[in-house]
Amino acid sequence: MLVCVLLQEHKYISSKRIAHFYSSKPQPQEFTVLVSGVPLVSGNSINETVESFFREYHSSTYLSHVVVHRTDKLKVLMNDAEKLYKKLTRVKSGSISRQKSKRDGFLGMFGKRVDVVDHYEKKLEKLEDDMRLKQSLLAGEEIPAAFVSFRTRHGAAIASNIQQGMDPTQWLTETAPEPQDVHWPFFTASFVRRWISNVVVFVAFVALIILYVIPVVLVQGLANLHQLETWFPFLKSILNMKIVSQVITGYLPSLIFQLFLMIVPPVMLLLSSMQGFISHSQIEKSACIKLLVFTVWNSFFANVLSGSALYRVNVFLEPKNIPRVLAAAVPAQASFFISYVVTTGWTGLSSEIFRLVPLLYSFMTKLFCKEDEKEFEVPPTPFCQEIPRILFFGLLGTTYFFLSPLILPFLLVYFCLGYVIYRNQLLNVYEAKYETGGKFWPIVHSSTIFSLVLMHIIAIGLFGLKKLPLASSLTIPLPVLTLLFSIYCQRRFLPNFKSYPTECLVNKDKADEREENMSEFYSELVVAYRDPALSASQYSRDMSPEDPPLLRIYTLPSHLSAGARDLIPRMLVVDPMKRVTIPEIRQHNWFQAHLPRYLAVPPPDTAQQAKKIDEEILQEVINMMGFDRNLLIESLRNRTQNDGTVTYYLILDNRFRVSAGYLGAEFQETMEGTPRMHPAESVASPVSNRLPGLMEFQGVGLRSQYPVERKWALGLQSRAHPREIMTEVLKALQDLNVCWKKIGPYNMKCRWVLNNADNSMQDNNYFGDDSSIIENDAAVKSPNVVKFELQLYKTRDDKYLLDLQRVLGPQFLFLDLCAAFLAQLRVL
C-alpha cells in the first residue's frame, strides 16, 4: 500500500513540476549557466576569454555573460556602511536617545568631543569613498568564473550538460541558480580546492556522528536505571524514589537528547557551505541530507543499540546477525520513542506556532537596541531543519506500527497538527528565498524506501526470534522488491527532477517567440547575475553630481506629482524581476491623465495588424533594399528579424504614428501638405508689426548677460521658483492675447489667433473646463491660428526648463509668436 502511495505521489509531483515550468514566466536561471574553471590566457582577461569562447562555440545561442569578481573586502565595507546608516537614521529620527556630542575615542570615553550626527555622517562619507575606490579596482580582481546567458533554454541546457573543453577540469558548467539564491563567497574555489573541501567535510561529518554517541549513551543510561545504579552506586537510594525514577526514565532522557540535537542543524549548514556549493538551495539540500543521516543514525540506531546491544558489538558486527539484533533491540525502546514523539514532536509544533524564541529576540532588540520595525526581516523557510524531523517521525511510524502500535496515535496527532501548523507558517509566516521546484521530494522518497527496507529487516529478525520460519521466508522477498521499485522510480522520475526534458524546453522556447516582452526580459537578463556588491548605495547627504549613487537610493524632488512619485520608485527597483515592466509603465495613471500629445505612447500592435502586410510598404522596401518579395513576405509572417523586416516595421510604425497623431505637428503637416504662406507673410511678420521693437534684438549681449555653462541645454531655463516662473509666463501670454487651458499645475494648452484684438474667452484668458475649445475649433486649418502646448520641467535641483511644443498652425507664425513671447519675458 505504501509503495502504491509513493508511486502516485511521484507521478503527481513530477507532473506538477512540469506544469509549473510551462505556466511560469521566463526566469533568468532557465537561460543561464555558471561556468567555472576558466583557463587563463596570456594577454586576455577572463572577460575576453569567456566572450571569445562562447561566441565561437555557441554563436547561435550566446547572449551575454557576467564575470564574477572578488568582492569580499567590498562586502565588509558595505555591511559597515549599512550598519552605520541605520544607526544614523535612528539618531535622526529620535528612536534612540540623541546626545548632542560624544567623544570619538575608544568606547566614547576618550578623544575630543564631536557632534554625533556630523561624526556619523563623516564616517559614512569616508566609507563610501573607500567603497568607490574598491569598486574602481575590481576590474583587475576577476575570478575564473562567469554567469553565461543564452537566448534559449535549450541552448543553456546544451551548454550545461556537455563537456566544453578538452580538459575536464576546465570550462566546468552547471545550471545557474536563481539570482537571489546565489552564494557568492565560494566562487574563488578551484576544482582541486572543492574536491579537498568535500573530503574534509566528509571526514568531519563522520567524526561528528561518532562523537555524538557519547551523549546518546548518557541519555540511554538515564533511561536504564539498572545501568545508572551500576555506574553510580551512591545514587541508589535516590533512584529508588518513584517520582525521581519516573522523571528520569520518562521525560529527562528525551529532553537532554533534544538539547544536544539543537546545535546540529547550524553545524550541518556550516559543513555544507564549505563544500563549494554556489547556491543557498544546494547548501540547504546538502545540509538536509546530512541532518537526516545524522538523525537516523544517532536518534534511532545509536539509541536502540546503546540500550540493549552495546555490550554485544562483536555479535552485531556479523551481518547475518543484524536482523536478529534489531528485532531484539528495537521493540525495547518503544517507550523512549513514544516520549520522544511527545516531547520533541508535540512541543516542537507548539513552539513553531508561537515562535517564542524569535518573539523574545525581537522584543529585546527593540527594547535595548532600538531597532525599527522596518528593519524586520521575514524568516526563510527552514527546510533543512523541518524535513529531517518529519521524515524521522515517518521512520518511527513505519518501523513500530507492528512492533508497538501504541505509538501510532501519537504520530497521527503529530502529523495532523503539523499539516495545519506548517500550512499556516508557509502561507503567513515564512518567505521562500528561492523556488525549490520539488527538488526536495527525492529525499523524501529515498527516506521512505529506507524505512520500508528497515521494517522488512526487523520483521525478518522478529519472525526468526519467534521461531516462524515460513513467515520469515515469505518476508525475505519484500526488501528486494522494494529496492527494485526504488530503482524503477529513479530511472522513471528522477531525471525530471535534475533537469527539464528537451521537449519541454523547445516547446517553451517556441511559446516565448510569440511573447512581446521577451526583449525586455533579455535586457533584464544581462544584469540579473551582477554581484550585489557592485550595486552599492549612496548613504551620505552630500553627493557630487559626478558621483554615481552607490546603492541606488534616490531622493525624489518635492515638486513631483503623486503619480510620478508612485511610478519612479517602481522603475528604479534593483531586482529586475520585481521592476515595473514597459507595458505596466504605459498603463500607469501618470501616462493616462493629462499627458502632452508629443509624449503619448502609441497603442500596442495587435495580432491582426501584425499579420496584415501593407503592399505599399512592402514594395517600397523591395525597391529600397533589393530583397526578394517571397522571402520578405515569409520573414514577415514568421516574425524573423533581418534588415528587410526591420525596415518594413520602421516605415509602418512611422506611418502609423503620423496617421494616429503621435508625431510632432511639423512632420504631419509636411506629409499631409502644409498650406502655403501668403505673400504678406513673407514680406513682414504681423507679430513684428504689432511689436515693432522686436526685430531690433539680434541676440547682442546675450553672452554677457548669462554665464556660459559647461553643457548646452535647449530651451528657456530659470532658477526661480516654479510658481514665480508660471506667473511671469501667464502675464506674457495675457499681453500677447493668448488663450490657454490648464491641464496640470505646469502644463497648459494654448491658442493664439493672428490679428484678433479680443482673443480671450474670459477676462483672464483662461478656457476653464471646456476642452472642446482646443480640440474642436472651427479654425484649426486657418493659417492665422497657432495651437501649442506649454510645459515646465525640472532639469536639475535648481533649474527649470520651459518648453513650447507646436500642435497646429504654420511653423513661421509659431516662431514669430515664440520670439514675441521671449520679448515679453525680456529674454531678447
| Other CB atoms within 10 Å distance of the CB of residue 622 | 15
| Average pLDDT of every residue of the chain | 76
Are 587 and 618 in the same domain? no
Measured CA to CA, the distance from residue 512 to residue 30 in angstroms comes to 13
Sign, CA torsion 211/214/217/222: negative
pLDDT at residue 290 is higher than 90: yes
- 668 vs 745, more confident: 745
Please check whether residues 654 and 577 belong to one and the same domain.
Answer: no
616 in the same domain as 576: no
Within 10 A of 619 (CB to CB), how many other CB atoms are there? Answer: 11
Q: Which of 270-279, 591-600, 721-730, 741-750 has the lowest mean pLDDT?
A: 591-600
pLDDT (mean) for 637-644: 79
Separation between Cα atoms, residue 280 and residue 660, nearest integer Å: 52
Alpha helix (H) ranges present in 295-369? Answer: 302-308, 313-316, 322-329, 334-340, 347-354, 356-364
In the predicted model, is pLDDT for residue 531 greater than 90?
no
| Residue in the block written with cell 529513479 | 490
The answer to whether residues 446 and 579 belong to one domain is no
How much of the chain exceeds pLDDT 90, in percent? Answer: 13
Q: What is the rounded average pLDDT of the residues 8-33?
A: 90
Q: Is residue 240 part of a domain?
A: no
Q: Are residues 393 and 287 in the same domain?
A: yes
State the pLDDT at residue 33: 94
Half-sphere exposure for 462 (CA within 13 Å, toward CB): 17
Contact 278, 375 (CB under 8 A): no
Q: What's the pLDDT at 362?
A: 80
Angle at which helix 383-400 crosses helix 407-428, to 10 degrees, equals 160
For the chain, the distance separating the N- and C-terminal CA atoms, rounded to the nearest angstrom, is 94
Phi then psi dihedrals of residue 50, to 5 deg? -65, -45
d(C-alpha 184, C-alpha 279), whole Å: 8
**Residue 631: which CATH number?**
1.10.8.10
Domain C-terminal end among 450, 478, 498:
498
CA distance linking residue 715 with residue 725, whole number of Å = 14
- The answer on 612 and 581 residing in a single domain is no
Same-domain pairing of 437 and 576: no
The stretch 505-510 carries a mean pLDDT of 92
Please give, one letter per residue, the 3-state secondary structure of 45-112.
CHHHHHHHHHHHHCCCCEEEEEEEECCHHHHHHHHHHHHHHHHHHHHHHCCCCCCCEEECCHHHCCCC
Cell numbers linked to 331: 521493540
318 found inside a domain:
yes
Q: What is the dihedral of CA 454, 460, 464, 467, to 10 degrees?
A: 130
Q: Which residues of 381-414 are buried (b: 16+ CB within 10 A; e: fewer)?
A: bebbbbbbbebbbbbbbbbbeebbeebeebbeeb
Whether 746 is covered by a domain: the verdict is yes
Confidence band for 696, pLDDT divided at 50, 70 and 90 = very low
Residue whose C-alpha cell reads 566528509 in the numeric block: 202
Extract the C-alpha cell encoding 396: 518511527
Same domain, 422 and 473: yes
Residue 272 domain-assigned? no
**Overall domain count for the chain:** 5
CA torsion, ordered 528, 530, 531, 536, to nearest 10 deg: -100
More confident residue, 564 or 285: 285
Q: Is the pLDDT of residue 311 over 50?
A: no
Q: Are residues 45 and 76 in the same domain?
A: yes
Question: With pLDDT > 70 as the criterion, what percentage of the chain qualifies?
Answer: 71
For residue 270, is it within any domain? no
Same domain? 771 vs 627: no
- pLDDT band of residue 153 (cuts 50, 70, 90) is very high
Is residue 79 left, alpha or beta, with left meaning phi > 0 and alpha meaning psi from -120 to 50? alpha
Residue 479's alpha-carbon distances to 354, 460, 514, in angstroms, are 42, 10, 51
| Domain assignment present for 508 | no
Determine which of 44-53, 68-77, 551-560, 758-767 has the lowest per-residue pLDDT on average. 758-767
Nearest to 119 by CA among 103, 135, 98: 103
631, 691: one domain: no
pLDDT at 607: 46
Residue 584 has, within 13 A of its CA and on its CB side, a CA count of 10
Q: Contact at 8 Å (CB) between 381 and 431?
A: yes
629 shares its domain with 707? no
Q: Global pTM?
A: 0.62
Q: Is 123 a domain residue?
A: yes
The reported pLDDT for the residue numbered 152 is 92
- Of 483, 498, 513, the residue at which a domain comes to its end is 498
Higher-scoring residue by pLDDT: 133, 828:
133
User: In the prediction, which pLDDT does 727 show?
Assistant: 85
Burial of 597 (0-12, 13-18, 19+ CB in 10 A): middle
Task: Tell me whether residue 674 is in a domain.
Answer: no
The reported pLDDT for the residue numbered 54 is: 92
Question: 414-440: per-residue pLDDT in tens?
Answer: 999 999 999 999 888 888 888 888 889
CA-based torsion, 270, 271, 272, 275: positive or negative: positive
The larger pLDDT score, comparing residue 769 to residue 149, is at 149
Res 488: pLDDT: 92
Backbone angles phi, psi at 755, to 5 degrees: 60, 35
Which pLDDT band, with edges at 50, 70 and 90, does 144 fall under?
A: confident
pLDDT at 485: 92
CA 146 to chain centre: 19
Host H or E run for residue 34? strand 32-36
Distance from chain centroid for Cα 336: 46
Of 217 and 324, which is predicted with more confidence? 324
Lowest mean pLDDT among 452-456, 685-689, 758-762, 781-785: 685-689
Average the pLDDT over each of 516-530, 595-609, 813-827 and give the range with the smallest value: 595-609
Can you read off the three cell numbers belonging to residue 726? 508660471
For residue 281, pLDDT over 50 is answered with: yes
698 is in which domain, residue-wise? Answer: 684-824
Lowest mean pLDDT, pick from 192-206, 225-239, 668-682, 702-716: 668-682
Residue 284 has pLDDT above 70, yes or no: yes
Average pLDDT, stretch 600-625?
70
The Cα–Cα gap between 437 and 448 comes to 20
Q: Among residues 470, 498, 526, which one ends one of the domains?
A: 498
The alpha carbon of 625 is separated from its chain's Cα centroid by a whole number of angstroms, namely 44
Whether pLDDT at 780 is above 60: no
Q: Kindly state the DSSP code that residue 279 receives in the 8-state scheme.
A: B
Cα 353 to Cα 8, 341, 360, 426, 429: the distances in Å are 31, 17, 14, 11, 10
Those residues whose C-beta lies under 8 Å from the C-beta of residue 418, and which sit 6 or more positions away, are 345, 349, 390
pLDDT, position 693: 34
